[in-house]
Amino acid sequence: MSADSISSYVSSLDPQRAAVCERLSKAIDAALPQATGKVWHAIPVWFIGENAVVGFTARKTGVMLMFWNGQHFDEPELEASGSFHMAQIAYEDPAQVDEQKLARWLGKAGTSIWDMVGERRAFVDKRRKAKSAKAVKGAKAARAGKRSKARQSAKPSKPKTMKRAKTGKRAKAKKK
Domain membership flag for residue 85 = yes
Any domain includes 27: yes
In a domain, 136, yes or no: no
In a domain, 142, yes or no: no
Task: Specify the DSSP element, H or E, that contains 154.
Answer: helix 116-154
The pLDDT tens digits for 89-129 are 999 999 999 999 999 999 998 887 766 666 667 767 788 88
**In this predicted structure, what is the pLDDT of residue 84?**
79
Does 20 fall in a domain? yes
41 within some domain: yes
Q: Which residues, including other chains, have CB under 8 Å from residue 34's CB and lie 6 or more apart?
A: 48, 110
Q: Is residue 54 part of a domain?
A: yes
Instruction: Return the pLDDT at 125.
Output: 78
List the CATH number of the domain containing 54: 3.90.1150.200
Q: Is the dihedral of CA 105, 109, 114, 117 positive or negative?
A: positive
* pLDDT number for residue 83: 67
Structural domain harbouring 85? 2-114
Query: At residue 13, what is the residue type?
Result: L
pLDDT of the residue at 138: 75
Please report whether residue 91 resides in a domain.
yes
Judge contact between 53 and 38, C-beta under 8 A.
no
- List, for residues 3-16, the tens digit of each pLDDT value: 789 999 999 999 99
What is the total count of domains within the chain? 1
